[in-house]
Structure 1
Amino acid sequence: MATDDKPLEDMKVDELRDVAREEGVKAPSSKNKGELVDAISDSTDGGSDTASDDDLGAGPDGGEVRTGDKNSKSLEYSQNITSTDEDPERQGRSLVTTHHEVIREWAEARGGRPATVPNSEYDGRPGRLRIHFDEQNGQLVDISWDDWFRTFDERRLNFIYQEDHTDGRPSTFFRLENPDTEGQGV
């Protein structure tokens, strides 16, 4: 297969990742050049590496990490998760996603609910986004997942999180980060 008369093998990795996203290939940012070429070729032949019903809720970026001019070190060293089917490479690994269902499943598995900081609303929209775990009684206001994700996407945030501690205990660590704001959490 060729794109714009250019063979896949002659394309750069970033170009291949763009084509892979267009073809619905799962987790293109975690694949090397050879894997991308194979996955794109398979996707055009009806292969099994194409997007499925599991990709529903991926958000406007298909679950891919949002990048900007000021990416943080935590973003650079995190494993990108683009599907609910993906697992961390190892316990305690920092992970990053924009995939709505990955975030929702992670939060709900830990008793978390979408929330905002009281009195931080702006123009009728949620203010500072948080996940409300039971230990934070009264400090946060619950909101709907729809409002949470709409705000998350409008602000171009990444969800940096940890599935488990290095000893295997479930972790509730997460951080919301905008790649355009000096790597600071929001």
Structure 2
Amino acid sequence: MGSHCKTTRDHDEIREWVTTHQGVPARVRDIRSVGGTGLLRIDFSGRTADECLEHISWDEWFRNFERAELALVYEATKSDAGRTFAKVVPAPDF
């Protein structure tokens, strides 16, 4: 059985998928500027954030998601290897 990827900007769809897969909204800290938004990520590690990755609220995550006009590409079905895949990308024109 192969994997099938979807792309979405829908906040409810993203939150539901991430929560179902035990993910947490996070960002990579922007070390170049104080107060920078950093790169948005989904943390599936199950650990607390380290010094490079910090967990943030859904409100903050989606605020930055909209500001940067991003989309989430994710696997609608798990790959044969059982891994979870999601990537934040520039939003295509829908």
Q: Normalising by structure 2, what TM-score?
A: 0.76
Counting matched residue pairs gives: 90
**What secondary structure sits across from 2:84 in the alignment?**
coil
CA RMSD of aligned residues (A): 2.7
Q: Residues 65-84 of structure 1: matches in 2 within 5 Å?
A: none
Contact kept in structure 1, 2:6 and 2:73, CA below 8 Å:
yes
Q: Are residue 112 (structure 1) and residue 23 (structure 2) matched?
A: yes
Task: Give the deviation of 1:106 after TM superposition.
Answer: 0.9
Equivalent residue for 1:103, pick from 8, 11, 14: 14
RCO higher in structure (CA 8 A, sep ≥6) = 2
Per-residue CA deviation, residues 107-145 of structure 1 (Å, 9 max, x unaligned), is: 111111110112358563521000111256524100010
Equivalent residue for 1:145, pick from 58, 63, 66: 58
Task: Name the structure where helix makes up a greater proportion of residues.
Answer: 1
Task: Name the structure where strand makes up a greater proportion of residues.
Answer: 2
Unaligned runs of 5+ in 2: none
Query: Residues of 2 paired with 1:107 and 1:92: CA distance?
Result: 17
Contact kept in structure 1, 2:29 and 2:54, CA below 8 Å:
yes
Equivalent residue for 2:74, pick from 155, 161, 164: 161
